[in-house]
Amino acid sequence: MLRSDRAAIAGGQRGSRAQGDAVARNDAAAGSRAAIAQISPRPDADNAALSPAPRTDLFENPQLASMAARALTYLNAGIPVHLRGPAGTGKTTMAMQLAARLGRPVVLLTGDDGLTAAHLVGREIGTKSRQVVDRYVHSVRRVETETSSMWCDAVLAQAVVEGLTFVYDEFTRSPPQANNPLLSVVEERILIFPAGSRKERLVHAHPEFRAILTSNPEEYAGVSRPQDALLDRLITFDLDDYDRETEIGIVSNRTGLAYAEAGVIVDLVRGVRRWPKAHHPPSMRSAIMIARIVARELITPSVDDPRFVRLCLDVLAAKAKPTDRDDRDRFAATLLRLMNNHCPAGAIDGG
Ligand SMILES: Nc1ncnc2c1ncn2[C@@H]1O[C@H](COP(=O)(O)OP(=O)(O)OP(=O)(O)O)[C@@H](O)[C@H]1O
């Protein structure tokens, strides 16, 4: 193959700017004139890899440090790690922090019910045609057309080939069949491409390829049950049982609120979380939200500050998703009772 052919084809495969350019050559030896043109390729941007630096502004205590150290040990051994927990428990933060500490570029995918295996593995992005017009004999015109497909790797394939860290956030939002390519990757470290799609049908993962997955087992809409076969191949950490001190540390770290004030808010949110009728138990994110406004507006987190009571009702009342008026009133009364318990008058300002 001539160099100009190779250049045109390589450009086409990566969806580069060379697409659509016509490359002409004179083949003097054969006495023919050939034109090589690429027809109708669809430009496709490369999947951008991130290079996150480990964050130094995150809260860490022995519980979080131990979890992170164990997760890194397993990842370094090539075993994928799965962080599971309800919304707002810090799954994405920890996934990105682990990825940053692995020190490799990161590609990120967020699960979605519209995802297919192609979003992980790749897809055909067009066709490439090569036309040879032969006019060796003046009166005879021979045209040969050869068409082949062009392929573009998606995030999982890119990570497997280049040895990147693949972070798959909320992977259970994708239909199970979309996640099938992961099975052979996490077990045998082999990625299999659809037949006839790509030059190499089977790729062995680069030694530095790593995978970190997150999921929320409590999401009730648009979530698939993860396949047992996939779960079996991951080491799962449950992030739903942070102890009180860890939650207070994170809330205080995120908002700048003093430990004691953050403690009052965390206790209230944990109290509401345990309330059996809370259909959507408030997460640590609710505590961060309340604490952020308390810090910004200089509100006293106690039941004798009407602004605090109003703020807590606004942030937390909808979490119970009451079905009727009666329920809603009862929940407001429960919230006030919890506030009296956890945020009593004078608890903060030493009054
Ligand atoms: N170690 C930490 N130190 C400081 N802040 C943290 C820490 N872990 C989590 N957070 C904060 O807690 C909040 C929730 O974290 P995150 O978004 O990672 O949760 P999540 O479980 O991925 O939530 P969702 O499922 O809703 O996406 C964020 O504001 C995040 O910055």
ipTM > 0.95 (yes/no): yes
Cα 67 to ligand 1 centre (Å): 15
- 142 and 158 share a domain? no
Going from the Cα of 90 to the center of ligand 1, the distance in angstroms, rounded, reads 3
Q: List the Cα angle 167/228/189 in 5-degree steps.
A: 50
- pLDDT confidence of residue 220: 57
Closest ligand 1 atom to 97 CA: 1
Work out which ligand 1 atom sits closest to the CA atom of 239: 21
Same domain flag for 24 and 169: no
pLDDT attached to residue 95: 97
What is the per-residue pLDDT for 2?
36
Residue 347 lies in a domain: no
Distance from C-alpha of 134 to C-alpha of 240, rounded to nearest angstrom: 70
Distance, CA 58 to ligand 1 centroid (Å)?
A: 10
Same domain, 71 and 206: yes
Tell me, using a 6 A CB cutoff, whether residue 122 lines ligand 1.
Answer: no
Indicate which CATH number applies to the domain containing 104. Answer: 3.40.50.300
Which pLDDT belongs to residue 14? 34
Residues 109 and 159 in one domain: yes
Residue 251 in any domain: the answer is yes
- Average pLDDT of the chain is 80
pLDDT of the residue at 258: 95
> What is the Å distance from ligand 1's center to 50 Cα?
19
pLDDT at 200: 81
Residue 348: inside a domain: no
Q: Which of 209, 238, 267 is the last residue of a domain?
A: 238
Pocket test for ligand 1, best of 64, 92, 93 (most atoms within 8 A of CB): 93
Asked if 18 and 94 sit in the same domain, the reply is no
Q: Is 216 in the pocket of ligand 1 (CB under 6 A)?
A: yes
Domain of residue 70 covers 62-119+154-238
CB 207 within 8 A of CB 46: no
Find all residues with CB under 8 Å of 24, minimum gap 6, and list them: 33, 34, 35, 36
Blockwise average pLDDT, block size 10, the chain, 351 residues: 34 33 32 32 56 92 95 96 92 96 96 92 81 73 76 93 96 91 91 82 94 85 70 90 92 95 95 80 92 96 92 83 67 85 73 38
| Residues contacting 216, CB < 8 A, separation 6+ | 84, 85, 86, 87, 91, 170, 172, 223
**Is residue 346 in a domain?**
no
222 and 327, same domain (yes or no): no
Q: Are residues 181 and 270 in the same domain?
A: no
Into how many domains does the chain fold? 3
Q: If you take atom 25 of ligand 1, which residue's CA is the nearest one?
A: 87
Examine the fold and report which residue of 238, 263, 280 is the final residue of a domain before the chain moves on.
238
CA 161 to centroid of ligand 1, rounded, Å: 30
- Residues 274, 327 share a domain: yes
Q: 33 and 78 share a domain?
A: no
Q: 147 C-alpha vs ligand 1 centroid, how far in Å?
A: 49
Residues 173 and 222 grouped into a single domain: yes
**What's the order of all strands across the beta sheet hosting 142-153?**
22-27, 32-37, 122-134, 142-153
Is 56 contained in some domain? no
Identify whether residues 226 and 269 lie together within a single domain: no
Evaluate whether residue 51 is within a structural domain: no
- Which pLDDT value is given to residue 349? 59
103 plus 159 within the same structural domain: yes
Q: Per the domain annotation, does 351 fall within a domain?
A: no
